[in-house]
Amino acid sequence: MDMPLPDQAVLSAHARITGRLRGILPADAVISDPTETRAYECDALTAYRCAPLAVVLPRSTAEVSAVLRLCSELGVKVVPRGSGTSLAGGAFPTADCVVLGVARMNGVIETDYENRFIRVQTGRTNLAVTGAVEADGWFYAPDPSSQLACAIAGNIAMNSGGAHCLKYGVTTNNLLGVTMVLMSGEVVEIGGPWNDAPGLDLLGVICGSEGQLGVVTEAYLRILPKPEGARPVLMGFASNEVAGACVADIIRAGLLPVAIEFMDRPCIRACEDFAKAGYPDCEALLIVEVEGSDPEIDAQLARIKEIALRHDPVAYRESGSEEESRKIWLGRKSAFGAMGSIADYMCLDGTIPVSELPYVLRRIGEMSAAVGLSVANVFHAGDGNMHPLILYNANEPGQLETCERLGADILKLCVEVGGCLTGEHGVGVEKRDLMHVQFNAADLEAQLRVKDVFDPGWLLNPAKVFPLDVTASRRAG
């Protein structure tokens, strides 16, 4: 992965830049000691590392504004950062940048049940948003796997999803308004605790813009009353094709589970060894969760069972208690941890039309065998969002490169069958150079023009999302 050469003028002005930052922020909000900035050298895409020039941790929108105004004036690039849990390198720094972390801005500004929203500072973690309203019977729906750690700022930047978005949608469907600071330092309020925009839907293009357009410091989020109950069922099948057909039938039948999760044999094995969740020994496994009152759940599961039985499941286990529900989810939720315990891995995130599932899984199997790296598949089957995990050994020379090539080939396959490069993790630096596979020059140019409007100097989150060749002339300016 290439990154542009750092701006030598900025590097040599290090002392002056940090001095100016200290002039506008409290002393503890500016970090420039190399032993401390190292903590910010990467996000959850740990294969790439680069310590930034400095890190700032402002406590208010006004402080964020002051930082961006100053960096604009000095021509210094800024990399916004939530909790640093991006799997795509969305918060990967450059040597000549200031990392702007919003972690200290984590308060709740307003909670309003009658109007069904919460307004928070965006450094607040995803789970802590639900935490603020849970006791009163409410929750915030998007639930990325990293929800314990990930910040709302990052969720908005990446338009994060989660296992339950099949029913509740992703971040963009649950975001009502933002306070955003432009690179110029100007603060804009977009949207609010009402629906839709009077003019262009700027909120829609800001959500998922990966820190390219501005730094979102506050957000109005839709909150929902908690369902009365939820219950998962686990089913094992003799092949990926059969499990895929079962998913399609459940969807066709008009049932709306909150989640349909899919794991293939390599993934089931690893999770079983790691978490001992008691998963059946089979080729493919589905976890289907439904919500409602007990009688409603019973009625839905009766229909789901009827469909599943038509596909000769080798196992069918409905949860009968909290403990059993926990066990069913245990393996799935520890999938990444399980993989991490046996190898280094790269987690992909392509989405495909659900109908292409069996074909894509078969092709991934062939491609994985051809290069000699194993791939375990775990994904949100209801919406076709796949997470192939490529296992490799970082200490063996050449394996990371082989893994990256296989990853790229799998993502190209996703696009080929009518899907996309990333369903919920974002492009970041990881998939930046693959954007040409999905978009032609005119498609990309239209996106660059949006960036031109919000960040004309191209200083925000440099060298991400867009292939370097198409942004070269703009970055030079």
Partner 1 sequence: MVRAASGALSLCGGGTRGVAFGAGEVLETSSLSGIRLYEPGALTLVAGAGTPVAEVEAVLAAQRQRLAFEVPDMRGVLGRGGVSTLGGVVAVNACGPRRVQVGSARDHLIGVRFVDGRGTVVKSGGRVMKNVTGLDLVKLMAGSHGTLGVISEVAFKLQSMPETEMTLRTQVPLAEGLGLLRQALGSPFEVSGAAFGRFGALLRIEGMEASVRYRAQALQDFLGGDWAEVAGRTLWAIVRDGGGLGEGALWRVSCKPTAAEAVVEALHGVEHEATFDWGGGLIWIAVRGVADGGASVIRGALAGVGHATLLRGSGAAVFHPEPPGVAALSRALRAKFDPRAVLNAGIFDQGARG
* Interacting residues with partner 1 between 116 and 175 (CB under 8 A): 116, 137, 158-159, 161, 165, 169-170, 172-173
Kindly state the DSSP code that residue 227 receives in the 8-state scheme: P
Among 377, 454, 462, 471, which residue interacts with partner 1 (rule: CB under 8 A)? Answer: 454
Q: Are 428 and 386 in contact (CB under 8 A)?
A: no
What order of strands is seen across the sheet that includes strand 77-81? 30-31, 54-56, 97-101, 77-81
Q: Minimal distance in Å, beta carbon 397 to partner 1?
A: 32
Among 59, 332, 451, 464, which residue interacts with partner 1 (rule: CB under 8 A)? Answer: 451
Among 385, 399, 461, 471, which residue interacts with partner 1 (rule: CB under 8 A)? Answer: 385
Give the side-chain half-sphere CA count within 13 A for 396: 9
Strand partners, 235: 286, 316
Of the two residues 161 and 232, which places its CB atom closer to partner 1 in the complex? 161
> Shortest CA distance to 382 belongs to which of 100, 177, 165, 190?
165
Asked if 200 touches partner 1 (CB under 8 A), the answer is: yes
Quick note: the x/- pattern for partner 1 over 210-249, rule CB under 8 A, is --x------------xxxx-------------------x-
Among 449, 469, 476, 477, which residue interacts with partner 1 (rule: CB under 8 A)? Answer: 449
Quick note: the x/- pattern for partner 1 over 82-121, rule CB under 8 A, is ------------------------------xxxxx-----
Write b or e for each residue in 316-334: b if 16 or more Cβ atoms lie within 10 A of its Cβ, otherwise e.
bbbbeeeebbebbbbbbbb
Size, binding site for partner 1 by CB under 8 A: 92
Of the two residues 41 and 356, which places its CB atom closer to partner 1 in the complex? 356
Q: Minimal distance in Å, beta carbon 195 to partner 1?
A: 5
Residues 300, 306, 312, 317, CA torsion sign: positive
Of the two residues 56 and 307, which places its CB atom closer to partner 1 in the complex? 307
Of the two residues 220 and 274, which places its CB atom closer to partner 1 in the complex? 220
Residues 343-362 that bind partner 1 (CB under 8 A): 351-355
Asked if 253 touches partner 1 (CB under 8 A), the answer is: yes
Q: Which stretch binds partner 1 (CB under 8 A): 19-27, 57-65, 142-150, 206-214?
A: 206-214
Backbone angles phi, psi at 296, to 5 degrees: -65, -45
H-assigned helices in 75-200? 126-133, 152-158, 165-168
Residues 300-319 that bind partner 1 (CB under 8 A): 300, 303
Cα 59 to chain centroid distance, Å, stands at: 24
Quick note: the x/- pattern for partner 1 over 49-68, rule CB under 8 A, is --------------------
Among 86, 209, 217, 471, which residue interacts with partner 1 (rule: CB under 8 A)? Answer: 209
Q: Minimal distance in Å, beta carbon 382 to partner 1?
A: 8
Q: Minimal distance in Å, beta carbon 475 to partner 1?
A: 17
Strand partners, 259: 289
H-assigned helices in 212-342? 240-252, 265-275, 294-309, 322-333, 335-342
Among 33, 36, 312, 452, which residue interacts with partner 1 (rule: CB under 8 A)? Answer: 452
Q: Which stretch binds partner 1 (CB under 8 A): 12-20, 22-30, 99-107, 185-193?
A: 185-193
- Residue identified by tokens 């919920």 is 424
- Residue identified by tokens 């607040």 is 124
Q: Are 242 and 232 in contact (CB under 8 A)?
A: no
Of the two residues 296 and 404, which places its CB atom closer to partner 1 in the complex? 296
Long-range contacts of 457-460 (CB under 8 A, 24+ apart): 457/72, 457/75, 457/183, 459/71, 459/72, 459/75, 459/76, 459/77, 459/78, 459/183, 460/77, 460/78, 460/80, 460/183, 460/211, 460/212, 460/213, 460/214, 460/215
Contacts (Cβ under 8 Å, ≥6 apart) of 34: 51
Residues 394-433 that bind partner 1 (CB under 8 A): 418-427, 431
Cα 54 to chain centroid distance, Å, stands at: 25
Which amino acid, residue 218?
A: E
Asked if 469 touches partner 1 (CB under 8 A), the answer is: no
Q: Minimal distance in Å, beta carbon 191 to partner 1?
A: 9
Of the two residues 58 and 419, which places its CB atom closer to partner 1 in the complex? 419
